[in-house]
Amino acid sequence: MTTETGHVCSSETVTGGQNVFSCDESDVSSADHLVVMVNGILGSSADWKFAAEQFVKSLPDKVFVHRSEKNAASQTLDGVDVMGERLSEEVLEVIKQKPNLRKISFVAHSVGGLVARYAIGRLYRPPKENTDDLSVENGEESKPTIGGLIPVNFITVATPHLGSRGNKQVPFLFGLSALEKAAVLVIHWIFRRTGRHLFLTDNDEGKPPLLKRMLEDYGDCYFMSALRSFHRRVTYANVGYDHIVGWRTSSIRRNIELPKVHFKFMLLLLFVKLNLCMQWQDSVNEKYPHIVYEERCKAYDFEPDLTNDDDTDDVEEELVTGLSRVSWEKVDVSFHNSKSRFAAHSVIQVKNHNAHTDGADVIQHMIDHFCL
């Protein structure tokens, strides 16, 4: 069944997800860029409805959006690896149904970013597997693909790349070590296997925690090769008011690497507590009022000087260092002056268009900087 909203059409797939595309037949036939949108924990494909429609409205003849639904509601508690396997199968099914697709990008929210990282490790095809007689004859260099498609954008939104194992990575625990230690002991009762992966307490057959395994090509999963194959990797991270995913873990930074905007934000909180009026207008561009900082981080493969950082533990350092071996574009977002700021984790993706409209400029920023 196909439904129409304005100039955007959507249809349900055999996997239960939603395809979003232009209603114009010529646009559909020319759109060769698959954009896979992945929801977070306890979410569904509906979480990306607004963003998907904005992508298609802005790039009608360029993108074909698939909102994944293979991992919805309680299925998101089955573990990052199980969800990643499902997502990879779902993506292959979409590619099979749309033979005109040439490129692929991912836009993932929260835990969905980790699921997408796992899935691309499964979908990665090394250059040698893509070499054919024709390309050799033409002198073309074989390149790696994701499910046979050219990898372009890998975008995560409020994703806990460094896990949630304490050290102030889950803001609603208030940075209290007693609460963080207690969370490690009980998290699997609430979020089951996914909770173990997030808190790095999983120990499958004596293997390292999954998030550590995903720092390299492990077994038959090309985690880092796949991540490196994308033209660009982007993190959108909430500076504050995200009570689920902290700033460091979502932006892949150490405490000493957080931009100076952090101190301005803390000053703002102090003024709020004192009931004083203060406006903090440090947006990057008037078009994007909630984006307060952008940084392009080059890949590095060396151990940084951490003599002045007393807030990074060994596990977190291993994850930061591993993920920093590829370049990242880091976009910091603040909803400090929004009435919906306490729902920042949902606002940043406009999970509900009626309640989270302040995040629309973040979605527009994604679209305007999207490589085609």
> Domain ranges in the chain?
2-164+210-368
Helix (H, G, I), strand (E, B) or coil at 194: helix
Query: What pLDDT is attached to residue 59?
Result: 97
Q: Over the range 129-161, which residues count as b (16 or more CB within 10 Å of their CB) and which as e?
A: eeeeeeeeeeeeeeebbbbebbbbbbbbbbbbb
Higher pLDDT, 114 or 192: 114
Chain centre distance of CA 51: 14
Query: What pLDDT is attached to residue 280?
Result: 41
* pLDDT confidence bin for 132, thresholds 50/70/90: low
pLDDT in tens, 219-243: 999 999 999 999 999 999 999 999 8
pLDDT in tens, 46-99: 999 999 999 999 999 999 999 999 999 999 999 999 999 999 999 999 999 999
Residue 183 has pLDDT above 70, yes or no: no
Higher pLDDT, 204 or 56: 56
Q: Across residues 131-156, what is the average pLDDT?
A: 76
Percent of residues, the chain, with pLDDT higher than 90: 67
* Cα dihedral 180, 184, 188, 189 sign: negative
pLDDT in tens, 271-315: 544 444 333 445 668 999 999 999 999 998 766 665 555 555 788
> Is the pTM for the entire model greater than 0.85?
yes
* pLDDT confidence bin for 266, thresholds 50/70/90: low
Query: What is the CATH architecture of 2-164+210-368?
Result: 3-Layer(aba) Sandwich (3.40)
Where is 364: in which H helix or E strand?
A: helix 360-368
Residue 104 has pLDDT above 50, yes or no: yes
Higher pLDDT, 45 or 167: 45
Burial of 45 (0-12, 13-18, 19+ CB in 10 A): buried
Residue reference for tokens 């268009």 = 353
Angle at which helices 80-97 and 111-123 cross, to 10°: 60
Q: Across residues 124-146, what is the average pLDDT?
A: 68
